A = this chain, B = another copy of it.
Amino acid sequence: MTTAASAAAAQAQTADNGGERVIRVALAERSYDIRIGRGLLDGLGGAVARLAPGANVAIITDENVNRVLGERARASLTQAGQRVETIVLPPGEATKSWDHVGQVCEALLAAKIERGDIVVALGGGVIGDLAGFAAAIVRRGVRFVQVPTSLLAQVDSSVGGKTGINSPHGKNLIGAFYQPSLVLADTAVLDTLPVRELRAGYAEVAKYGLIDQPEFFAWCEQNWQGVYDGTDAREYAVATSCAAKAAVVARDETETGDRALLNLGHTFGHALERLTHYDSARLVHGEGVAIGMAQAFRFSARLGLCAPADADRVARHLAAAGLPVHPAQIPGGVGTVDEVLEAMAQDKKVSRGALTFILARGIGQSFIAKNMPRDDVRAFLEADMAGGPGV
C-alpha cells in the first residue's frame, strides 16, 4: 500500500500558477477537486459559478465562523451573481443532532434550494458533517461544497464523504456517504485558530505518515512548527494529508476494506472521548487520536510487531508538537481498564463484539488487525495505564 498511496499523493499534488494545490478525489462520476491555498475563500463565488452556473446558494455555518468569515463568503458569492441565504447554527458538537438536521433541511426547502443548487458548508467538522448530511437527504441529494475552516476539517473530515449526526447511542451513528462537489481549503483562515485547535488537527496530519508514508512522518518531525506558523509547510501538510486520504477513499469509499486504516488511533481515541463524555475542556478528538496513535504503537511494540524505538519515536514527535500521548495526561483521568474496554466495545466499527485495531510493524507500516483477543488488549491496557507518558 505504501507505494500506491505515495504515488497517488505525488501525482495528485499539482501546484497551479497561483501557488494553489489541487488534489483530485477519483470516484468516477462522483469525483471532485480539493483546492488548497491561502485566500481561496474570496474565490468561492467564482468556483461555485463554474460548478453550477446560475445556481442559488445556501451557506450553512455556525455563529463563530459566521462572525469571522460569513461576510467574505457572502460577498464573494454575491459578486459572482449568486442569490445567497445563510443558515446559522450554534457552535459545538451538540449541533450534530436530529433536531438541527431537521431544522437545516426545512430551512433549505424554505430557501427553495433545488437539485441543481449548491449548499456551502462553511465551518469545521461539525458544520461539514451536518451540512453534508442535510445536502445528502434534501430532495434526495443536492450538491454541496465544503469550505473547511479548521485544520482538522481541512485534512480529514471535509474529505471522503462521511457525513452525519450523533445519536444518543453514539457519535456519527446516523448519516450518509455523500461526496462534496468541491472542497475549498483556505489555509489562511487557520491563522487565527487557537493553538489547541491547530494541535488537534495536526494529530491527523501526522497520522497519514504513520499509516503508510514514513518519509512524510520524517518530514513532519522536521516541519511541524511551520504547519502551526503558516509557512508553506502548512499547504504541503494539508495537501499531502488530503492526497493520502483521497487515495484511500478512492480505493474503498464505503469502508468495507482498507479505509479502516484511517482509524489508526481511533479505537483507543474514541473510547477515551466516550469516557470523558465528549467534554472538550478535557479532551478534543485530535487529542484522543494522538493518545490513541501512541497507544497503538506501544501495543504493537508489546505484541512484538514493531520495534519499541518506533513507539518511542511516535510519542516523542506528538509530544513535541504539543499533543498528549497517554491517558494519564487527560485532566481528571479516564477510569479503570475495565471501563476503557467497555467503552471500546461500544465503537461503531465493532462487529459481533470483536475488537478491530489498526496496528503497525513500524512507522508507516500500519495494518488492520481484526478479532484482537480481549485478553491481549486487557494485558496491554493494564501495563500501559499503570505507566505514564514516558516522554
Contact = CB atoms under 8 A, between A and B. Distances in A.
Q: What size tier do the contact residues of chain A reach? A: 20 to 34
A292 to B, nearest CB: 21
Interface in A231-274: 254
Q: How many copies does the complex hold?
A: 2
A109 B174 CA distance: 9
A196 interface: no
B167 A109 contact: yes
A162 B175 contact: no
Residue among A109, A141, A169, A174 having the largest count of chain B Cβ atoms under 10 Å: A174
A176 interface: yes
Contact of A109 (B114, B169, B351): B169
A374 interface: no
A318 to B, nearest CB: 29
A167 B105 contact: yes
Contacts of A168: 106
Interface in A151-193: 162, 164, 167-170, 173-177
B254 A176 contact: no
A173 B109 contact: yes
B140 A175 contact: yes
A348 B113 CA distance: 11
Given A115-B351, A176-B176, A351-B116, A167 B137 contact: no
B137 A174 contact: yes
B110 A169 contact: yes
A176 B136 contact: yes
Interface string A98-118: 100010011001100011100
Contacts of A136: 176
Contact of A176 (B114, B141, B351): B141
A256 B98 CA distance: 29
A139 interface: yes
A377 B176 CA distance: 39
B177 A164 contact: no
A26 B116 CA distance: 26
A139 B105 contact: no
A343 interface: no
B173 A138 contact: yes
8 contacts: A106-B167, A114-B350, A114-B351, A137-B174, A137-B176, A140-B177, A140-B254, A141-B254
